[in-house]
Amino acid sequence: MEKNILFKDRQQAAESMAILLQASLMDGDAIAIGLNDEGAAMANYIGKILNIPSLELFVQKLTDPQNKDHVWGAVCEEEELYEMTQMAPQELESYLLLREKSRQDIHQKIAQQRAGEKFPDLTGKNAILITDGIKSGASVVAAIHFCKSMHAKSIVVAAPVALRSMDDNLDEADLVLIPNRMTGSYDISDFYA
């Protein structure tokens, strides 16, 4: 499938999301939480525009190594796990190995990028989860569960683009801001020049 470019880069996407978020911000302390590298860069940019702090949250999607379109779920910091689908018995061993490797990768990133410090408490804060796009939704749902476990006052999901086939459990957030919902078999990178 061809690219369907919506943004020249993630900075342009972050600018458009900041405008939407500015109009939608809830009362109280807000924090921009970027999911992984691209989301963290966007959260940092949005945080500067909105004058709120930003942090990176480490999440890894658990994808069937035999079928990249088959997502089992996602694992997040503090061992937060979201399982999206039931596994066939023959998939269980691969899933368990991947889940453990993903947890180790997350712990390594925390050690390297945050000197091993845990994610700060979110009690009383409005958590704004930012990603450059949502394909399956597994990583975002794991992040929603994580923010709930950290006692966030409210949870906003902000993504410039998502596929319509994403997980319905995004509705667990208090607010979902996705201006572009696409159909088809795209990778998120297809929406950026």
pLDDT per residue as tens digits for the range 104-140? 999 999 999 999 899 999 999 999 999 999 988 999 9
Flag whether 180 is in a domain.
yes
| pLDDT of res. 28 | 65
> Residue 152 pLDDT more than 60?
yes
What is the pTM (predicted TM-score) of this model?
0.91
| pLDDT of res. 26 | 60
Flag whether 89 is in a domain.
yes
pLDDT per residue as tens digits for the range 4-43? 888 999 999 999 999 999 877 766 689 999 999 899 999 9
Flag whether 192 is in a domain.
no
Flag whether 1 is in a domain.
no
Q: Give the CA count within 13 Å in the CB-facing half-sphere of 73.
A: 21
CATH number for position 157: 3.40.50.2020
Give the strand order in the sheet containing 126-130: 54-57, 30-35, 126-130, 154-158, 175-177
Flag whether 121 is in a domain.
yes
State which residues form the domain around 55: 10-184
| pLDDT of res. 167 | 66
Compute and round to an integer the Cα radius of gyration of the chain.
16
Q: What's the structural domain count of the chain?
A: 1
Flag whether 5 is in a domain.
no
